[in-house]
Chains A and B, each alone.
Chain A
Amino acid sequence: MWAARVALVIIALLGATLSLTPFGRAATRGALLFEPLIAADQPTYLQVVGEPIRHTTTTLFTPYDTVYLDVYEPTTPTPPVPHAREGIIIIPGVGDNRQIGQLINLSESLARAGIVVVDMTTDILINFTISTDDSEALVRTYQWLAHQPNVNANHIGFLGLSGGGDLSCFAAVDPRIRDSLAFLVLFGSYYDATDMLRDMGRRAILVNGHLKPWQPIFAPYDIPGFVLAHAVAATLPPDQGDLLLNALGPSQQLLSPAQLAQEPSAFRAAYHLLIGDEPGQADANIAALSPAMRAALLQLSPSRIAAQIRAPIYLLHDVNDQYVPYTESRDFDAALTRLGHPHQFVEFTIFSHVEIRPDLGLGPLLGDGARLYRILYEILLPAS
């Protein structure tokens, strides 16, 4: 009899806490979203207890670019509590990632949890280029989402994956949205493009004062190198820019020593840094970059505008990331700590760049899962 009474009281209190209190509702959402995040597919229970959803596409235009939006949203009316829905704009990095299964799964799962999700990309991003001009695309997307009748404009945040994280930093300092942006989640993003180029050049990262070997991804080709090559190539005459892009891009047309000798010294320095064939000369090659190249790299670095960001920042990075060194997020974390900016930094081992690894054991899943859940809870709390 007493056991039944205790069980009854505990279950009733648990049910009331999870449904009646904001922290309980955020915990419920986080718990239900947890498996889809780490298992990379949508469990049946989420389809049962979650909201029915719809997927639509729309296009926006900026003076610089065409913006493609994939919108995932609940089809049910907005519940009276908490009155309006949270919005998350996902910027899934460079290239066209809109059809990647894990991104669709993440977007659908968040929508089933009652969030309006917008996956955003642009022609510039699809072309493996990060441009500060594209921050206009993010601002327009934010404004578009804020004007949706069921969305609370103060509960919209950016989830930037890889290079998408850097772009969201540039948009986050735009005066039109700076004060209302709810949060910034940067997953596998760089902090300083010049530092990242140095790491690529020396094929090593600086961890706690010691150099540790680091090899950027090379299959199907060096995508992070290709992205940085776009930034550098924009400062070069078109023929030199094409040489650089062809060396780093899918065709991987490396230059012979004779061809390279004909190019200017700044070009050679950038080439060696990107190819990584002179690891001992990385600092000298950084110094040999042209002022225009250095300015372009600085322009594309969140380090330039970190102090102007007002939204809380969540930095996530896998320590085995082969696209962007995890030390970039460590540097960002250190800078935000110095600035006294509200932020959290979490290092993982269960991701391959920004995608969940398929070969995981229970141990890493539990350890990283708890850290992931904490971030998830904090992001979901304000709109619960």
Chain B
Amino acid sequence: MDMGSIWLTALMLGAGIVMGALAVAARFGLASATGMGQGARWNGWLTVGIGALAAVIGGWLGALVFGRLYGLPTALWVSALCATLLPWAIVRRRRAA
């Protein structure tokens, strides 16, 4: 992996962390389902993690499909979607169970 790719991955990771943090602040994340306390904190970090992971995977998929220039914009919307929809789906599943 060349230096440019490492930096691009770092940028995607950063974007994903920001989107995850925004999802937590917007109460879209897992933390919103568990109220306050230690559990909520861990769930908040999990949401940020989901955002970061989704950004890297989605970003590189975007780079593959549209070209490398579009990796970062793809990382933004994929991580935003994942950081909001995945926790929502997890919470729904937990409640159904």
Contact = CB atoms under 8 A, between A and B. Distances in A.
Secondary structure dominating the interface of B:
helix
A2 B67 CA distance: 34
B22 A79 contact: no
A48 B8 contact: yes
Interface in A70-118: 74, 76, 79-81, 112-114
Interface in A256-290: none
A81 B69 CA distance: 12
Given A8-B28, A12-B76, A28 B22 contact: no
Nearest to B70: A19
Interface string B29-60: 00000000000000000000000000000000
B71 A49 contact: yes
Interface residues of B, number: 31
Contacts of B27: 1
B67 A51 contact: yes
A114 B69 contact: yes
A176 B74 CA distance: 40
A29 B69 CA distance: 7
Interface of A: 1-2, 4-5, 7-9, 11-16, 18-19, 24-25, 28-29, 32, 47-52, 74, 76, 79-81, 112-114
21 contacts: A1-B26, A1-B27, A4-B22, A4-B23, A8-B26, A8-B28, A8-B80, A11-B77, A14-B76, A15-B72, A15-B78, A19-B70, A19-B74, A24-B73, A25-B70, A28-B69, A48-B4, A49-B68, A50-B69, A114-B67, A114-B68
Interface of B: 2, 4, 7-8, 11, 19, 22-23, 25-28, 62, 64-78, 80-81, 84
